[in-house]
Amino acid sequence: MNDNIAKILKYTKTIAVVGLSPKPERASNIVSEYMQAQGYKIIPVYPREEKILGEPVFRNLRDIKEHVDMVVIFRRSEEVLPVVEEAIKIKPKAIWMQEGVINKEAADMAIKNEIEVVMDKCIMKEHVQNNKGQEP
């Protein structure tokens, strides 16, 4: 386990999830539900729906009024840059691009703004591994 990832998971309390699908079979929903069950506050960011996983849905990161520790991105790699540009404005401590999501330009921009970046890793898998493989 990367020590940096362990540190990020430890200080994170509130996670805004960009692209959190309301469909329970989608990876974004499965992963977010798992993280919610582990005690993290999940804030869905999605263009439709009023509630996902029992939480009010926001249309964009700017509309979230509370502090966000981490922004998790479930979008295609080529759609990440505008999300990171918006995320920088709310000043999370970390941006996490899910497995298969890679955007070096967006990562470099976040790092230049003193935001930690995890790219191309599944937050659920990393959390399970960090907690000695114990699934919920």
69 domain residue, yes or no:
yes
Is the distance from CB of 11 to CB of 93 less than 8 angstroms?
A: yes
Output the CA angle 96-22-37, nearest 5 degrees: 60
Within a domain: residue 59? Answer: yes
51-52 and 55-56 strand pairing: antiparallel
pTM summary value: 0.94
Q: What tokens were used for 43? A: 């804030």
Residue 100 maps to which CATH number? 3.40.50.720
> Contact 11/69 with Cβ under 8 angstroms?
yes
Helix (H) or strand (E) holding 108: helix 104-112
Locate 25 and state its tokens.
């079979």
Is 50 within a domain? yes
Strands (E), the chain: 14-18, 41-45, 51-52, 55-56, 70-73, 94-97, 116-118
The per-residue pLDDT for range 25-36, each reduced to its tens digit, is: 999 999 999 999
Which residues are CB-neighbours of 93 under 8 A, at least 6 positions away?
8, 11, 12, 69, 70, 115, 116
Residue 16 pLDDT > 90, yes or no? yes
Is position 136 within any domain?
no
Q: Does residue 18 lie within any of the structural domains?
A: yes
Residue 73 within a domain? yes
Cα–Cα distance, 135 to 106 (Å, whole number): 31
Instruction: Flag whether 57 is in a domain.
Output: yes
Q: What would the pLDDT profile of 35-69 be if each residue is shown by its tens digit?
A: 999 999 999 999 999 999 999 999 999 999 999 99
Give the pLDDT of residue 136: 46
Q: How many domains does the chain fold into?
A: 1
Within a 10 A sphere around the Cβ of 65, how many other Cβ atoms? 6
Half-sphere exposure of 49 (CA within 13 A, CB side): 19
Report if residue 119 sits inside a domain.
Answer: yes
Instruction: Identify the domain containing residue 108 by its residue range.
Output: 3-130
- For the stretch 93-120, pLDDT in tens is 999 999 999 999 999 999 999 999 999 9
